[in-house]
Amino acid sequence: MTNIKIDVTEYHIRLGRELHPAESPKLRGFFGRAFAEEILFHHHRLDGSLLYKYPRVQFKVLDKTAILLGLAEGSELLSRLWLCVDHTSIGSENLPVIESTITKRVESLGGTQEPLQYCFITPWLALNQENERRYLLEKSRQKRFALLERVLVGNCLSLSKSLGYTITMRLKADCSGLREVRCSLKGVPMRGFVGSFQINFLLPNKIGLGKAVSRGFGTIERVGSSPRSRGGNK
């Protein structure tokens, strides 16, 4: 089967203090204001309408460090702008950039014959209001996992469509390694999921699935992966 290749850029920023995962939306807000002309940072067109497509730039806090992940045209954007940032604002706090590094790689996306194992390292916001009602009504753990597996497959289908890839095989997922966690989005309590899962689909490392991926939710990590990369320092 034929997979597609995607340019991926990771932009790591070490600031004047360590960050908390809940601060990733503030990081996104800073870049959205500082580069207001770049729609990929904030997803608002000039007329105020929203850009509805899978986020090409995603803002994360992993291991207390700010990380921007760029895919496709988002990869080119980060490569072009990373030397332009010498400070950030996290809320009302100005923080200097102590060090920044950029790594680039090319990753594959597409179906696989055998399932691959991943882990959600930030909460996966899988459920909308309708699916959450169905999830809570299900008393069987097996049926709850089955619902999550359908949602996960749907997330991969949506991601593929947005990136121009057509899936021609049936995707099968196993979410039995996930567990619930409580989190919040824009101050609203949410039900998220972390832990391991399997699916017969090759996903770029550290991308997000589900809702609010531009704010760092649903970040995946391939188990046993060590993608080749090339990078620079500032």
Residue 225 has pLDDT above 60, yes or no: no
Give me the domains of the chain, ranges plus CATH numbers: 4-106 (3.30.70), 108-222 (3.30.70.1900)
Cβ neighbours for 107, distance < 8 A, ≥ 6 positions apart? 5, 6, 8, 204, 205, 227
Residue 232 has pLDDT above 60, yes or no: no
Residue 52 confidence (pLDDT): 64
CA distance 234 to 230: 14
Give the pair of three-digit tokens for residue 195: 């832990």
User: Vertex 90, ends 70 and 93: CA angle to 5°?
Assistant: 155
Residue 47 confidence (pLDDT): 59
Q: Among 43-47, 156-160, 163-167, which stretch is predicted with the lowest mean pLDDT?
A: 43-47
Task: Give the burial class of 120: count Cβ atoms within 10 A of its Cβ; 0-12 exposed, 13-18 middle, 19 or more buried.
Answer: buried
The answer to whether 123 and 218 have CB atoms below 8 angstroms apart is: yes
With tokens 């608002």, the residue in question is 44
CA distance 55 to 37: 16
Residue ranges with strand state E in the chain: 4-15, 57-62, 65-71, 87-90, 93-124, 173-174, 178-185, 188-202, 220-222, 230-233
Which of 220, 133, 212, 136 minimizes the C-alpha distance to 178?
Answer: 220
pTM of the model: 0.90
Average pLDDT for residues 24-35, to the nearest whole number?
A: 93
The answer to whether 56 and 74 have CB atoms below 8 angstroms apart is: yes
Give the pair of three-digit tokens for residue 4: 């597609």
The answer to whether 145 and 176 have CB atoms below 8 angstroms apart is: yes
Amino acid at 2: T
The answer to whether 60 and 67 have CB atoms below 8 angstroms apart is: yes
Q: Which backbone phi and psi does 90 adopt, to 5 degrees?
A: -105, 100
pLDDT in tens, 98-145: 999 999 999 999 999 999 999 999 999 999 999 999 999 998 999 999
The answer to whether 33 and 118 have CB atoms below 8 angstroms apart is: no
With tokens 């970040």, the residue in question is 219
Sign of CA dihedral 161, 156, 135, 61: negative
> In which element (H, E) is residue 147 found?
helix 141-162
CA distance 187 to 147: 26
Residue 45 has pLDDT above 90, yes or no: no
